[in-house]
Amino acid sequence: MSPVRSIDGSRQRSDWPSHLIIWGFLLIELFPLYMMFQVSFKDNASFIANPWLPTSPATWNWGNWDFGLRLIGPYIANTVFVATTGTIGTIGFAICGAYFFARCKLPFSDALWAAFLLLMLLPGVTNIVPLFTQLKDLNLLNTLWALVIVGIASAQVFNIFVLRHFIEDLPKDLFEAAEMDGAGHLQRIWHIVIPLSAPIIGTLFILAFLAKWNEILLPLIVLRDKELFTLGVGLFYLDGEYTKQWGQVMAAYSISAIPLIIVFLFAMRFFVKGLSSGAVKG
Amino acid sequence: MAFVTLNNLVKVYPEKSGPGIRAVNGIDLEIKEREFMVLVGPSGCGKSTTLRMIAGLEDISGGAITIAGEVVNHVQPKDRDIAMVFQNYALYPHMSVYENMAFGLKLRKYPKTEIDARVREAATMLGLTDYLDRKPKALSGGQRQRVAVGRAIVRKPKVFLFDEPLSNLDAKMRVSTRAEISKLHARLDATMIYVTHDQVEAMTMGDRICVMKDGNIMQVAEPLELYNHPASMFVAGFMGSPPMNFFKGRITRSPHGLVFVEDNSKAAPFQLLLGGPLAEKAAAYADRAVVCGVRPEDAQDTATVANPGTGHTIDAVVEISEPMGPETFLHLHTGAHAFTARVRASNPFAINQKVEITFLMDRVRLFDPDTEKAL
Amino acid sequence: MTTLPNNQGAFRRILRDWRLYFFVVPSALLVAGFAYYPAASAIYHSFFYWSGGDSMHWIGLANFKRAFHDQVLWQSFQTVSILVLFNLFKLIPSIFMAVLIHRLASDRWRYVYRVLLVVPMIVPSLTTLFIWKFFLDPNIGALNRILDITGCKGVLVSIDHFFGWGVFLENHPIGWLSQPELVLPSLFIWGFPWIGAVGVLIFLAGLQSINSEIYEAAELDGIGPIGKFFHIELPLILTQVRLSLVLLIVSTLQGYVLQLLLLGDSGGPDGRGMVPGLWMYNRAFIAGEFGYACAVGIIIFAFILVLTLINNKYVRIDK
């Protein structure tokens, strides 16, 4: 009998058919990424003549990227602001809220929790129409802060839900030891909750950032001035233009991915670890 | 002088309906300065709850706790000048040994040099110097336990609290760590309150032992006093392994004096002639039911006893014998009562063999069957 | 010694620990202000004729009566039901992928694949959506080109001839998003091969909890690879699968970004891609009928609520 056994207990056999299938799927998954990148260096003529293969780097048309950057650079700046502030606010408030529900058994906390849970049943779709008039009344229409605030509010329930269960599963002893060591609640959050739930916080951070980065409905409704457009609105109007230089459009798309690449570079380890450990259940 | 005082201390856990569960039932206890006090009892007796109330981790439902003359009921745990060693050690997994020990001092804003000096002193005392940079995960159970103790030491608190700190160690480690903590107590000269369910730990470590049951204190005494003069059947049965044997019976008068007669309908009941202090205590119970308690080591094979005498030997049948080497645990019965004797091993015993057992009468105890208190 | 009444203890705790409430105040205020208030407002306004401004008047249940006879709304619920079925089907590749990766012998490859799965996420899903729209473009889109190159176009045209659909024509590029008949198929193809990185990772996490002894026992019992999936793997990731199902159904029912971006605010040719959410959006922001839009929103909410309740009753999710 062969000494090496695979996880499913069968004797070591070659895995190559599985690898082949997985790579097949992955290549199709990565195909849009590839197309986006290689078309971004072509003009329309060379794209139509040769849609599939990349041109040699020597003939790359960096003008597309220059154009794309000038076109959506400001949108990206706006989106970075909205997504970063929104994500930090979302996770920060959610950690505090989850700590409250997980560790402080105070009067009314159960009732409050029930009110939070009820919201999970309430689809966001119903809200958008009244939200529009509410933001108008608050003079928040056509501001980026509207996106930040609504973004934070709508993400609270999910994040608190996940974090609460995670914090509850941390050993109670640690919090008591910290209490004896003289740590206040904020210090307990800072020294215990955050370091010990880093993978889950990293995962939630990325998920929240992605959600805000990809938000389009609310910005579409809220924003009027071109200077305030976020990526979603920018791409929406870019898509609506009648004649398109595909190379320029693809360059703009490629640029739209750069901030996410940066975020993933920092948090990829946490993300894969957090999701793989089964931490996100709800 | 009492250093830590519990005064009519009550803990009630609220229930959805009803008056709530009384985990601690109005207890009074005085712990002297530099004393090693052990709270011992079966699980659910309220010992941990009491400790946690002293620590400030649990609200006090009634009564008062005084530390060094000051009532601390509403003082935050961090301001009570106490340190606690937890059952699962509660080491911060993301911090090194050094950081774990320094954390409490750092939060209290001690100067760096002071923190360093204290941590190194404690590490030397506990033999942890080589492990200061390791994370708890890379330590053995015994080392983790020492880090937990070190974290308490560096704070130089007025009172140390231990919550079953040895229960997660294997049997060998437990014995050696027990001695370590006793030495530490001698060296630090501090007040220590130690919770355990293990009567051996209580006997070997405590200056005094407080036995608890169902939220009440059963007896507070020095270890040997507790062992030799248990105040109740519960204490007598709880302290000692194997536990004390109990025989139901009554006191009757005989020409030689008062006699304990076993309740036995299946065989001839044995009789014990009572003398000395035992007879004085039994006098009030003449012709009444009592319970007679005999520790296994006080029941000996008559063949091995130098002067067996008369009036305190009984006949019993061997159910099983467990040779331990220096001695043998004999599980016997008299027909009505099963009991254990811890006899000096001389020769093997066979099942169903008849043996004559001699009770060491000056160590026999009598209890009231209704109140379960010692006579 | 008398027992303290519970409410007195609660009161004392509030007095002592009231500062703790500050931890939850930001979340609670935001949720109350920007989730509960608009929801209440939607219910309130659904009884009004209201075009978004200050003027509105009470019309009772007229909005709901109108919705009941609204052919577009009925049609949109039909469409969205079909989309739910599509999306349920699209869950299969993720499960398949997770099982494939899980059964690999090499730890290193399993990690590599997990990371590679996440890589496509660096492209914002919004951008992916527009790239797909580009793929579906009749003249320069990749899909039509692939069909041309591989000769599949010819097959489609002859099938079309046989059935007489008039959709796939010899010399016309296929208008995936402009032919009414092709709107739903396009929404089906969209996102091929339908692998969600987050889903695969969560399934993998569930599969990891399977003890290798269980596999060995199964092997002794003579269970084959497919049997292993149905008897061991699927039951153990059922929690995750059910959860994905529920989230997927709810998000499909209320989602309309995809339709809005691919097909426009009127649901594409013939309104074939009109879904309830998009109809609500359309009524509010295109037609200016805010009151009616609120009523449509409430109907969608009620629909989802009923499904959730049924789901909670019959499909248990063990937390």
- Interchain proximity C3–B59, CB inside 8 Å: no
Q: What percent of chain B has pLDDT over 70?
A: 99
- Interchain proximity A180–B77, CB inside 8 Å: yes
Q: Does A70 touch chain C (CB under 8 A)?
A: no
* Tokens standing for residue A271: 């993300």
- Interchain proximity B78–A196, CB inside 8 Å: no
- Interchain proximity A183–B107, CB inside 8 Å: yes
Which residues does chain C have within 8 Å of residue A99's beta carbon, measured at their own beta carbons? 23
Q: Does C4 touch chain B (CB under 8 A)?
A: yes
Whole-angstrom CA distances from C85 to B344, C136, C202 are 81, 22, 22
Q: Kindly give, in sequence order, each residue whose CB lies less than 8 Å from that of residue C294, ignoring residues fewer than 6 positions away.
A: A126, A129, A130, C41, C42, C43, C45, C46, C50, C63
ipTM over 0.90: no
pLDDT at C241 over 50: yes
Q: Does B88 touch chain A (CB under 8 A)?
A: yes
- Interchain proximity A130–C294, CB inside 8 Å: yes
A198 burial class (0-12, 13-18, 19+ CB within 10 angstroms)?
Answer: middle
- Interchain proximity B62–C6, CB inside 8 Å: no
Q: Give the single-character DSSP code of C53.
A: S
Nearest CB neighbour to A182, from listed B84, B94, B104: B104
Which residues does chain B have within 8 Å of residue A177's beta carbon, measured at their own beta carbons? 84, 86, 90-92, 151
Cα nearest neighbour of A118 on chain C: C36
Cα C95 from Cα C118, distance rounded (Å): 16
H/E stretch holding C19 reads none
Q: What is the mean pLDDT of chain C?
A: 84
Q: Does A118 touch chain C (CB under 8 A)?
A: no
Nearest CB neighbour to A181, from listed B88, B89, B103: B103
- Interchain proximity A177–B87, CB inside 8 Å: no
- Interchain proximity C26–A268, CB inside 8 Å: no
Cα B282 from Cα B364, distance rounded (Å): 12
Q: Give the single-character DSSP code of C231.
A: I
* Tokens standing for residue A92: 């920060």
State the CB neighbour count (10 A cutoff) for residue B150: 24
- DSSP per residue, B232-255: BHHHHHHSSSSPPEEEEEEEEEET
- How far does A77 lie from chain C, in Å, by closest CA? 15
Q: Kindly give, in sequence order, each residue whose CB lies less than 8 Å from that of residue B261, ignoring residues fewer than 6 positions away.
A: B249, B250, B251, B252, B269, B270, B271
Please give the torsion angle defined by the CA atoms of residues A83, A86, A90 and A93, in that order, rounded to the nearest 10 degrees: 150
Q: Sort residue A218 into left (φ over 0), alpha (ψ -120 to 50) or beta.
A: alpha
* Tokens standing for residue C106: 């090499």
3-state helix, strand, coil in chain C (%, to 5): 70, 0, 25
Which residues does chain B have within 8 Å of residue A195's beta carbon, measured at their own beta carbons? 92, 94
pLDDT at B236 over 90: yes
Q: Yes or no: say if C310 and C81 are a contact pair by the CB < 8 Å rule.
A: no
Global pTM? 0.83
Q: Give the single-character DSSP code of A55.
A: P
The position carrying tokens 């109007």 is A237
- How far does A180 lie from chain B, in Å, by closest CA? 5
Q: Kindly give, in sequence order, each residue whose CB lies less than 8 Å from that of residue B164, ignoring residues fewer than 6 positions away.
A: B48, B87, B195, B196, B197
pLDDT by residue, tens only, chain A of 282 residues: 334 444 554 445 578 888 999 999 999 888 888 888 888 888 888 888 887 888 888 778 788 888 888 888 899 999 999 999 999 999 999 999 999 999 887 888 888 888 888 777 666 667 888 888 889 889 998 999 999 999 999 889 889 988 998 898 888 889 999 998 888 899 999 999 999 988 889 889 988 998 999 888 889 889 988 889 998 888 888 887 767 788 888 898 899 888 888 888 887 777 877 777 655 543
Which residues does chain A have within 8 Å of residue C250's beta carbon, measured at their own beta carbons? 123
Q: Does A142 touch chain C (CB under 8 A)?
A: no
Interface of A with B (CB under 8 A): 171, 173-174, 176-183, 187, 191-192, 195-196
Which residues does chain C have within 8 Å of residue B12's beta carbon, measured at their own beta carbons? 3-4
Find the mean pLDDT for residues B142-159. Answer: 91
Helical H runs in chain A?
A: 16-39, 44-49, 62-103, 109-121, 128-137, 144-169, 172-180, 185-188, 194-196, 198-213, 217-222, 231-240, 246-276
Cis bond leading into C235, ω under 30°? no
* Tokens standing for residue B133: 């940079």
H/E stretch holding C197 reads helix C197-208
Helical H runs in B12-140?
A: 47-55, 97-107, 112-126
Query: What per-residue confidence (pLDDT) applies to B110?
Result: 92
Nearest CA-CA partner of C196 in C144, C145, C251: C251
Find the mean pLDDT for residues B43-71. Answer: 90
Q: Give the single-character DSSP code of B131.
A: G
Cα C251 from Cα C258, distance rounded (Å): 11
Cα nearest neighbour of B11 on chain C: C3
* Tokens standing for residue A244: 């398109």
